[in-house]
Copies of this chain bind each other. A is one copy, B any other.
């Protein structure tokens, strides 16, 4: 298996990306192609003292920066590491693409270069997010601010396949985010999507209120990208706020400091379990090949985890399964 990696994307590129790849080839039976400025990437590889033959370098002279306009950058920067890497995967020169760079550009690139699976109307960004009971897939978490009912129905299918094939949940519960559980609640789009979802061969459990999401009320949480992004970012902010408040409570007096000391391990573990960045990258679902968005702040360990995720995605045949699921849905639609 060959994984294509954008060596230049992310806050800690290329150093941590290259380190992560060196770690990954030591753990998994894979080849990696590092795409980026070859002299820079080579220097980093040398720093890692890598002597093997499973990592190669593909030169690309340009870099898409975090602040670049996504669509514009993917169109204009033809020799960027991201675009060159995506093209390699599109041409079958690699099995999956992993990138910690500009999210919007990656989503545009997945659509324009790797292209969508037949019948798929929009690709979606779908991170696995921790809840009190385990994990859920949040689809879409920001690729499409506005969605039609059909987009949401396709997200439900893709998310269901992902949780079954990739995570191994037998009959994943799919919930559609709404502001109430009564049939007539919410927007027209949500109500129409509700009718579509009822007809799908998935375990659709109906509307889910946002209260139930962090409590583990569904395995696949379906919503438009605006709502998903609000959920994901609000969670991040609240975890941070919670940490600050906890710290304040801990540092109040000598006795509370002692109490905090006794609880340290448990709280660190809790903090870790709440951090969705620990759970590898987010797949861009709906593209013709596995594309993984690693977190922008990925260090070597996180990036190596994202590569592991790509490997597992290829192994479990996710793309074929999604293709099949969508074909059935599209046939029914016609």
Which residues of A are interface residues toward B (Cβ below 8 A)?
Answer: 69, 131-132, 142, 145-146, 177, 179, 184-187, 209-215, 225-227, 229-238, 240-242, 244-246, 248-250, 252, 255-256, 258-263, 266-267, 269-270, 273-274
A234 engages B231 (CB within 8 Å): yes
9 A-B pairs, CB-CB below 8 angstroms?
A145-B179, A211-B234, A212-B237, A215-B237, A227-B227, A245-B274, A252-B266, A259-B259, A260-B263
Contact residues in B for A269 (Cβ distance below 8 Å): 249
Of A132, A213, A240, A269, chain B has the most CB atoms within 10 Å of the CB of: A132
B233 touches A230 (CB 8 A): no
- Taking CB atoms, residues of chain B closer than 8 Å to A249 are 263, 266-267, 269-270
Q: A213-B234, A267-B249 are in contact. Are A187 and B259 (CB under 8 A)?
A: no
Q: Tell me the complex Cα distance, A229–B31, Å.
A: 47
* Residue in B closest to A133 when the chains form the complex, CB atoms: B241
A145-B187, A249-B267 given; A226·B179 CB < 8 A: yes
Cβ of A250: which chain B residues have Cβ within 8 Å of it? 263, 266
Q: B residues within 8 A CB of A240?
A: 132, 211, 214-215
Give complex CA distance A263, B215 in Å. 24
Query: Would you give the shortest CB distance from A131 to chain B, in whole angstroms?
Result: 7
Known A-B contacts: A146-B187, A245-B270. Give 9 more (CB < 8 A).
Answer: A132-B245, A142-B179, A187-B226, A210-B229, A213-B234, A213-B237, A214-B240, A234-B235, A259-B263
A125 nearest CB across to chain B (Å): 11
The 8 tightest CB contacts between A and B, nearest first, are A259-B262, A249-B266, A132-B241, A210-B233, A211-B237, A210-B234, A179-B229, A211-B233
| A210 pairs with B237, CB closer than 8 A | yes
Give chain B residues whose Cβ lies under 8 Å from the Cβ of A210: 229-234, 237
Instruction: Collect the chain B residues with CB atoms within 8 Å of residue A248's CB.
Output: 266, 270
User: Which residues of chain B come closer than 8 Å to A214, judged between CB atoms?
Assistant: 234, 237-238, 240-241
CB closest residue in chain B, given A261: B259
User: Contacts A249-B269, A267-B249; is A255 near B244 (CB within 8 Å)?
Assistant: no
| Beta-carbon contact of A132 and B209 below 8 Å | no
Bound CA–CA A210/B230 (angstroms): 5
Q: In whole angstroms, what is the CA distance A226 to B226 when docked?
A: 11
Distance A179 CA – B235 CA, assembled complex (angstroms): 14
For A212, the chain B residues whose CB sits under 8 A away are 237
- Residues of chain B within 8 A (CB-CB) of A246 are 270
A132 closest partner in B (C-beta): B241
Which residue of B184, B186, B256 is within 8 Å of A226 (Cβ)? B186
Name the distance in Å between A236's Cβ and chain B's nearest Cβ.
5
Is the beta-carbon distance between A244 and B145 smaller than 8 angstroms? Answer: no
Contact A132/B244 with A187-B226, A230-B230 known, Cβ cut-off 8 Å: yes
A258 x B266 contact (CB < 8 A): no
Q: Which of A209, A227, A230, A270 has the most CB of B within 10 A?
A: A230
A181 to chain B, nearest CB (A): 11
Query: How distant is A254 from chain B, measured CB to nearest CB, in Å?
Result: 9
